[in-house]
């Protein structure tokens, strides 16, 4: 069964995370992705530990289903190969410093002259404008500048970064959406276009209700630990042997929750009968819920609260999260050439993601690709 993007050729001039994540998603769905690396290789090859068989697991996470060619763009022969690849490609993805490929004749305007059907995606930290192009685009910096870190951590405590490079991943997803949208338009117009994504714009979009609180409501959000500014209960609550996440997102779920907890009268208490009231009076409601939750273990409450139709869950390690996905039949782990990775999250009824190639070693396919590009 062919993937939905079979037949597309993607020239991947990106490195680190946002670009490689986007191109791996395209590759999983059938695109032929050629990973162009500098002679020293993608930086994440050396980002270790942890490792598997001496290879960085960071690199392994975002580079399956690709073929690698190492090209020194300062070398005339290698530069000619890079230009030929761009001429043949349907999609080119790059995250050089804005304008950085122009000196090699690999910028969008130059490449599009010989390949007007090309969809050219650029990912940067702060956009290509004169005031943003010079700024370094690392995820941690964007987490700080965007305001995310001001929202992460305990009230009154220090700000914290998210546990992953969340805006690199988000920008990679936005780049993928942009590429697919441009390909759809190309099917009608016959022409490609330049798609630009930057981490800060992805961050501000991804802050959703928190950025809206300021933009639309004039409210500057603050750290609330695991609490939610607009919902209660929607946080960690202590049971007899540890915390459980409980999220009663509407009045019906709250009524079911308090019935399971054995305090059904709380659903009709005027202090708690609507979400607005529960949120405003959370300091009164929380101890009433905790008093009941402390009488039993997390596992016991999880079983009964879920059975009642109220969302809740334990706080797992990553290992526990993978195990839970396995338990409910999501089959989260796949192998590509013997290398395990996490399954592409998209399921299609009439096509499928595939896991054809393991993450390549540096220049693993250089010989065959050079020969092909010279034909």
Residues across the chain: 375
Predicted confidence at residue 2, as pLDDT, reads 85
User: Which 8-state DSSP code applies to residue 361?
Assistant: P
Tokens of 28: 């999983």
Q: Which of 233, 246, 250 lies closest to 305 in space, CA to CA?
A: 246
Tokens of 64: 């399956």
Q: Which of 99, 34, 45, 113 lies closest to 70 in space, CA to CA?
A: 34
3-state secondary structure of 202: helix
pLDDT tens sequence for the chain (375 residues): 689 999 999 999 999 999 999 999 999 999 999 999 999 999 999 999 999 999 999 999 999 999 999 999 999 999 999 999 999 999 999 999 999 999 999 999 999 999 999 999 999 999 999 999 999 889 999 999 999 999 999 998 999 999 999 999 999 999 999 999 999 999 999 999 999 999 999 999 999 999 999 999 999 999 999 999 999 999 999 999 999 999 998 999 999 999 999 999 999 999 999 999 999 999 999 999 999 999 999 999 999 999 999 999 999 999 999 999 999 999 999 999 999 999 999 999 999 999 999 999 999 999 999 999 998
CA–CA separation, 88 and 82 (whole Å): 10
Supply the pTM of this predicted model.
Answer: 0.94
CA–CA separation, 202 and 186 (whole Å): 24
CA–CA separation, 163 and 169 (whole Å): 12
Q: Which of 88, 126, 125 lies closest to 373 in space, CA to CA?
A: 88
Cβ-based burial of 285 (10 A; exposed 0-12, middle 13-18, buried ≥19): buried
Catalytic residues: 168
Helix axes 199-206, 208-215, angle to 10 degrees: 90
User: Contact at 8 Å (CB) between 306 and 246?
Assistant: no
CA–CA separation, 176 and 171 (whole Å): 9
CA–CA separation, 239 and 350 (whole Å): 45
CA–CA separation, 176 and 170 (whole Å): 10
Predicted confidence at residue 136, as pLDDT, reads 87
Q: Which of 336, 346, 343, 334 lies closest to 176 in space, CA to CA?
A: 346
CA–CA separation, 170 and 22 (whole Å): 10
How many CA atoms lie within 13 Å of 330's alpha carbon, on the beta-carbon side? Answer: 15
Tokens of 76: 């005339």
Cis peptide bond prior to 141, omega within 30° of 0: no
CA–CA separation, 302 and 49 (whole Å): 35
Predicted confidence at residue 327, as pLDDT, reads 96
């Amino acid at each position: 069964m062919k993937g939905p993007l079979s037949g597309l050729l993607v020239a991947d001039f990106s490195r680190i995370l946002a670009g490689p994540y986007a191109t791996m998603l395209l590759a999983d769905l059938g695109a032929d992705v050629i990973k162009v690396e500098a002679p020293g290789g993608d930086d994440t090859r050396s980002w270790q530990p942890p490792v598997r068989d001496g290879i960085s697991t960071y690199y392994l996470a975002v580079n399956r289903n690709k073929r690698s060619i190492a090209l020194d763009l300062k070398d005339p022969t290698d530069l000619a190969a890079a230009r030929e690849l761009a001429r043949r490609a349907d999609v080119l993805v790059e995250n050089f410093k804005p304008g950085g490929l122009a000196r090699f004749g690999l910028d969008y305007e130059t490449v599009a002259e010989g390949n007007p059907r090309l969809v050219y995606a650029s990912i940067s930290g702060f956009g290509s404008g004169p005031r943003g192009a010079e700024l370094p685009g690392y995820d941690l910096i964007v987490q700080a500048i965007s305001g995310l870190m001001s929202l992460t951590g305990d009230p009154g405590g220090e700000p914290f970064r998210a546990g992953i490079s969340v805006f690199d991943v988000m920008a990679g997803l936005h780049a993928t959406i942009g590429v697919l949208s441009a390909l759809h338009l190309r099917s009608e117009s016959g022409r490609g276009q330049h798609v630009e994504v930057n981490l800060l714009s992805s961050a501000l979009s991804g802050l959703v209700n928190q950025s809206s609180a300021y933009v639309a409501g004039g409210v500057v959000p603050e750290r609330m630990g695991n609490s939610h500014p607009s919902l209660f209960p929607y946080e960690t609550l202590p049971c007899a042997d540890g915390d459980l996440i409980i999220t009663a997102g509407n009045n019906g779920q709250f009524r079911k929750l308090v019935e399971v907890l054995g305090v059904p009268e709380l659903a009709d208490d005027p202090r708690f009968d609507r979400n607005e009231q529960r949120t405003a009076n959370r300091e009164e409601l929380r101890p009433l819920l905790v008093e009941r939750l402390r009488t039993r273990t997390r596992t016991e409450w999880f079983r009964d609260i879920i059975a009642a139709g109220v969302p809740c869950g334990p706080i797992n390690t990553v290992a526990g999260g993978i195990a839970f996905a396995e338990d409910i039949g999501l089959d989260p782990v796949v192998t590509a050439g013997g290398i395990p990775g996490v399954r592409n999250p998209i399921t299609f009824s009439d096509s499928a993601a595939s896991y054809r190639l393991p993450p390549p070693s540096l220049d693993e396919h250089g010989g065959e690709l050079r020969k092909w590009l010279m034909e």
